[in-house]
Structure 1
Amino acid sequence: MSNKKDKKKKGVVQEWTDALIFAVIAATLIRWAAFEAFTIPTSSMEKSLLVGDYLFVSKVHYGPRTPKTVLQLPLTHQTIWGTQIPSFLDWIQLPQFRLPGFTDVKNNDVVVFNYPAEEGFPSDMKLNYIKRCIGIAGDTLQIKNQEVFINGNRVEVPEDSETQYRIVSKTQIGKRTLERYNVYAYDHMNVGHYKLKMIPGPEGKFSYSAMLPLHTAKELRKLDFIESVEKIYAREDPSVFPQNPNNVWSIDNFGPLYIPKEGDVVKITKDNWSQYEDIITKYEDNENVVFKDGQLSIDGQVQDTYIIKQNYYFMMGDNRHNSLDSRYWGYVPADHIIGKAVMVWMSMDRNPDASAVRWRRIFNFID
């Protein structure tokens, strides 16, 4: 009698175990080959995408990548859920290939990719970033007074793209006005603080800086108590890519910069080494790279030119003054591309003064 009960219990346990294993395998395959969920963690894409948006990222658009780091717990990335314990071992690294997709990365696609500048991780285990692909391989990019030009043609600014403005007002701007024009953002370090900072201005006036999309700036200019709403332009910054002391670039006035494509033959010089250094030393599996006195050698072989092995892309956040993007760390290699962001399936507002769910954003397709 007891043997029958034991067999029955084992049968139920075995069924649930088999079902769980099947579910994990199915979810892992779907996550690898078709779609993956992604959360917007920062405001770098505001207001096109908001902190608290949950996205579906399509792997089928550009084609899924074959696994590189195979010793990894299923359905994890970098760490085990809720801990700082690594979820992978880098003992085995396989060559990585991309299966066929039904499109290539295009200008203005919203793309999820592995953050190329992160150190200490295999490429497929680096942090996941999301930005807009401004330039593709073979393009020449230039930014003039915040206007982006690709191959000499002006790029339309995304409707909700934010940048920094200086607002001069006759009176102090109140909470109601900020809420009406959506000039606020939840900051987890300062709960409920509005993103309007007081800055020095004309005597007797109130002067602020704020991150705004163009249409909000136009609406604010119509208010009787607002004297002016003008863009603030970034100064020259030696930390912007490619960190060449001869460049006097900033995030608002940048380039022209060529974006390398597979097969390009490049003559490496002292003047352009900073532009190609990461490509040659980090992204293309070269060994024993030495650049000295203007001369490049790879694995002991002196080279007058270098042939680019894969395509590269230039990514920027829609929040142009609050985005750590290619203007600082350079190109994104093709093998770092994860997929295309296609839809917001859920959106949660973390501002405690607001409704928890942003109903209007649910099931919105991403432009």
Structure 2
Amino acid sequence: MGKEIRDKQNKSRAERPKPGIRQWIWCIVACVATIAFVIWTGYWAVLILLPVFIDIYITKFIPWGAWKESKNPTTRKILDWVDAIVFALIGVYFITTFFFQNYQIPSSSLEKSLLVGDFLCVNKMVYGARAPMTPLSFPLMQHTAPIIGTKSYLEKPQLEYKRFAGFRSIERYDIVVFNYPSGDTVATKHQSDDYYRLCAQDGWHAVNTNKAEYGDIIYRPVDRRENYVKRCVGLPGDIIEIREDTTFINGAKLENPEMMQLFYVIQTDGTQISTKVFEDLGMSMEDQNVIYPPQLLQANSDSMFLKELGLKSSDKETLLYQRVNMTKEMVDKMLQKPFVLSVTPWNKYINVLREKDPISYVEFTQTVYPVTYYKSVSMGDFPATWIPKKGETLVFDENIAYKVAVYERCIKNYEHNDFEYKDGKVYINGQQADSYTFKYDYYFMMGDNRDRSADSRLWGFVPEDHIVGSPMFIWLSLDSDKSGLSKIRWNRIFTKGNKNK
């Protein structure tokens, strides 16, 4: 009996086709790629794939494709589809996790550098791919499954943050894709609104108890939070400050991005600006829609006050167009129009008005980060603030209330410490603390469309564990203001994604 079994085994081995050159090449490629991946990531357990590849291509002890020999054609067809789908899902998961990811620009915060409707290929390797922190998730779904609306991931297990070797670190002016730091908590019926600003605006109790209005309050892991894209302006250890739309780093003036946009006030001699003039400047319909209706300025108004506002006096009635969103180049072109008398930065204009009538013009201010400390600051100003750096220490010796307001979220939410501030003293993990040493690097991100960007001025620093990657190129760009083939912005396809550095 034993002899018969051995004879069958020997016959089976003899009948196996010997691997050809093609199989040897595929086997070597697969094994080399596996070893390179292990060296890059340090995931030594992946080496278990080596004997699997050797058996698939060379030894063939395990009948990996035995189902293909089934006599039932229906079974073969079903299993053929299952095999293709599983292989595709594994491939997509592997590629989007470690190498590249698709991202669509949803808002105008980076206009004119990146436009609404741009589809980006994001390079995850440039800063080092981030190891999966929520590994059990469905590929191509950030946090919510379409149609059914359920979570596209399992919350457990949660793995510690780890980043593999990259080509370089983040540089100033880089456009960076990252997980929205303030998106750790979400009201399901207001997912586009910042939960913490909702609480500051409507009250914590209302947001957390009124499910009919706000829905369930859910927590999202770091890598399942919404993807954002902004330009890195402040690096770890920098002191950043914004005064009158000008950014200063460590006291030195920072050159603005080439395509940075601001709101302006345009004064004309009474001539109405046509839609075509705005279109010729390259202004989108979305930007045109935020322009206030032209305001009539009486003739022979107070000349001194007009000069403070940046306007010109006239013996005739003039028109003011407010919140006109333009780049410096667009401003220069607008000033060349014979009917334009002046163009003034919106923030300068509003700050002067607010000094004269603070109650009437409080609506034009923003509550900047952190919401517990600063109130009523224009978007063109931001107080001098130190950006935390890995290994550097914050000392709670003076201005403690300010430091708590600015850095509590970093210490508590991002670096996962118990944090309490009472009676003028700081307690970390139950112990009174005179200082704290940060374990992460942090970045200050801003949009080029400065007056229409929700960025670090509103929700704070971006921790290093939230960094996803850098836009590599635009593979498709669609203009929502147009239809048919004219929707496609052909001149942007396959152009670089990290523009105007």
Does TM, normalized by the shorter one, top 0.5?
Answer: yes
**Residue in structure 2 matched with residue 124 of structure 1 by the alignment:** 223
TM-score (norm 2): 0.68
From 189, 197, 218, give the equivalent of 2:292. Answer: 197
CA gap of 1:292–1:350, structure 2 versus 1, over 3 A, is same
- Give the Cα separation in 1 of the matches to 2:147 and 2:326: 35
User: Which secondary structure state, in structure 2, belongs to the residue aligned with residue 72 of structure 1?
Assistant: coil
TM-score (norm 1): 0.92
Equivalent positions of 1:234-249 (< 5 A) are 235=351, 237=365, 239-243=367-371, 245=373, 249=377
User: Aligned letter for 2:367?
Assistant: S
- Give the Cα separation in 2 of the matches to 1:306 and 1:135: 21
**2:414 corresponds to 1:301:** no
User: Aligned letter for 1:106?
Assistant: E
- Give the Cα separation in 2 of the matches to 1:13 and 1:97: 39
User: Aligned letter for 1:155?
Assistant: L
**2:314 corresponds to 1:183:** no
Displacement of 1:81: 2.5
Equivalent positions of 1:339-354 (< 5 A) are 339-352=469-482
User: Aligned letter for 1:32?
Assistant: T
**Residue in structure 2 matched with residue 227 of structure 1 by the alignment:** 341
Note if contact 2:367-2:376 (Cα within 8 Å) is conserved in structure 1.
no
Deviates more, 1:83-92 or 1:114-123: 83-92
User: Aligned letter for 1:176?
Assistant: K
**Residue in structure 1 matched with residue 319 of structure 2 by the alignment:** 206
- Give the Cα separation in 1 of the matches to 2:329 and 2:286: 21
Q: Which one has a bigger Cα radius of gyration?
A: 2
- 1:273-309 residue CA offsets vs partner (Å, 9 max, x unmatched): 10111011100011x3221122122232221111111
CA gap of 1:245–1:77, structure 2 versus 1, over 3 A, is closer
**Residue in structure 1 matched with residue 332 of structure 2 by the alignment:** 218
- 1:86-132 residue CA offsets vs partner (Å, 9 max, x unmatched): 21221321112011111101111000111111212111111111000
From 119, 139, 150, give the equivalent of 2:238. Answer: 139
CA gap of 1:246–1:217, structure 2 versus 1, over 3 A, is closer
**Residue in structure 2 matched with residue 190 of structure 1 by the alignment:** none
**2:402 corresponds to 1:271:** yes
Displacement of 1:75: 2.1
- Give the Cα separation in 2 of the matches to 1:10 and 1:343: 43
Displacement of 1:153: 2.5
Deviates more, 1:77-86 or 1:21-30: 77-86
Note if contact 1:168-1:201 (Cα within 8 Å) is conserved in structure 2.
no
Greater relative contact order (Cα < 8 A, sep 6+): 1
**2:204 corresponds to 1:104:** no
User: Which secondary structure state, in structure 2, belongs to the residue aligned with residue 91 of structure 1?
Assistant: coil
**Residue in structure 1 matched with residue 212 of structure 2 by the alignment:** none
User: Aligned letter for 2:75?
Assistant: K
- Give the Cα separation in 1 of the matches to 2:147 and 2:134: 21
Note if contact 1:183-1:194 (Cα within 8 Å) is conserved in structure 2.
no
Note if contact 1:59-1:338 (Cα within 8 Å) is conserved in structure 2.
yes
- Give the Cα separation in 1 of the matches to 2:456 and 2:379: 10
CA gap of 1:194–1:275, structure 2 versus 1, over 3 A, is closer
Equivalent positions of 1:10-89 (< 5 A) are 10-89=75-154
**Residue in structure 2 matched with residue 280 of structure 1 by the alignment:** 411
User: Aligned letter for 2:318?
Assistant: K
User: Aligned letter for 1:200?
Assistant: Q
CA gap of 1:83–1:146, structure 2 versus 1, over 3 A, is farther
CA gap of 1:143–1:186, structure 2 versus 1, over 3 A, is closer
- Give the Cα separation in 1 of the matches to 2:421 and 2:182: 20
User: Which secondary structure state, in structure 1, belongs to the residue aligned with residue 156 of structure 2?
Assistant: strand
User: Which secondary structure state, in structure 2, belongs to the residue aligned with residue 242 of structure 1?
Assistant: coil
RMSD, matched Cα: 2.1
- Give the Cα separation in 2 of the matches to 1:291 and 1:159: 43
Looking at secondary structure, tell me which structure has more helix per residue. 2
Note if contact 1:168-1:208 (Cα within 8 Å) is conserved in structure 2.
yes
Note if contact 2:134-2:221 (Cα within 8 Å) is conserved in structure 1.
yes
From 422, 433, 454, give the equivalent of 1:324. Answer: 454
User: Which secondary structure state, in structure 1, belongs to the residue aligned with residue 410 of structure 2?
Assistant: helix
Report the count of equivalent residues: 358
Displacement of 1:33: 0.8
User: Which secondary structure state, in structure 2, belongs to the residue aligned with residue 277 of structure 1?
Assistant: helix
Looking at secondary structure, tell me which structure has more strand per residue. 1
**Residue in structure 2 matched with residue 171 of structure 1 by the alignment:** 271
User: Which secondary structure state, in structure 2, belongs to the residue aligned with residue 220 of structure 1?
Assistant: helix
Unpaired segments ≥5 residues, structure 1: 188-192
- Give the Cα separation in 2 of the matches to 1:136 and 1:172: 44
CA gap of 1:358–1:314, structure 2 versus 1, over 3 A, is same
Displacement of 1:179: 1.5
- 1:243-291 residue CA offsets vs partner (Å, 9 max, x unmatched): 46478753212221111101111113223110111011100011x3221
User: Which secondary structure state, in structure 2, belongs to the residue aligned with residue 103 of structure 1?
Assistant: coil
Q: Percent identity?
A: 36
- Give the Cα separation in 2 of the matches to 1:304 and 1:186: 49
